Amino acid sequence: MKRVVRWLATVLGVLLLLGVALLLLSENGEVVVLRTVGPDGTKESRLWIVDGEQGPIVRGSPGKTWVENARANPAVALRRGGDAWTALRAVELEDAAGRAQANALMRARYGFADAVIDLFDDFDAAVAFVLVAPPPAGLN
């Protein structure tokens, strides 16, 4: 019985350490806050960001609340580097080339942390958004 308890404690300890390591890796580099609005209200999510040719790019897994909110309502707000909130529009990169470019930019910027997290969260299936200025009022 002691052997089983030790084994379970070891497994739980390893899982806890893995969880802490993933959390630390996910906070490595520039982390921004993206605010989205959906049926359950406002959601603020901490995300990695890269600068692409068309503007800042964020990426997440399909089904995540912020991803589905941005798909349904592309009006978002971004807080980057402790600055004030900036109103933006999230435009999904729907083509494979756009997603591949987003993944390559993320890998180049976040390196080892991106590769490790990709083992647990398949970035090839991820959704990427470029954040652009919203159209002027009245021209939606």
Write the DSSP string, 38-52.
ETTEEEEEEEE-EE-
User: What does the pLDDT read at residue 20?
Assistant: 47
Q: Taking a C-beta distance cutoff of 8 angstroms, is the pair 32, 58 a contact?
A: yes
User: What does the pLDDT read at residue 134?
Assistant: 85
Sheet harboring 50-51: ordered strands across?
41-48, 31-38, 75-79, 86-92, 127-132, 56-60, 50-51
**pLDDT tier, 1 (very low <50, low <70, confident <90, very high otherwise):** confident
Evaluate if pTM is beyond 0.85: no
Q: Is 25 exposed, middle or buried (0-12, 13-18, 19+ CB in 10 A)?
A: middle
User: What does the pLDDT read at residue 11?
Assistant: 63
User: What does the pLDDT read at residue 78?
Assistant: 96
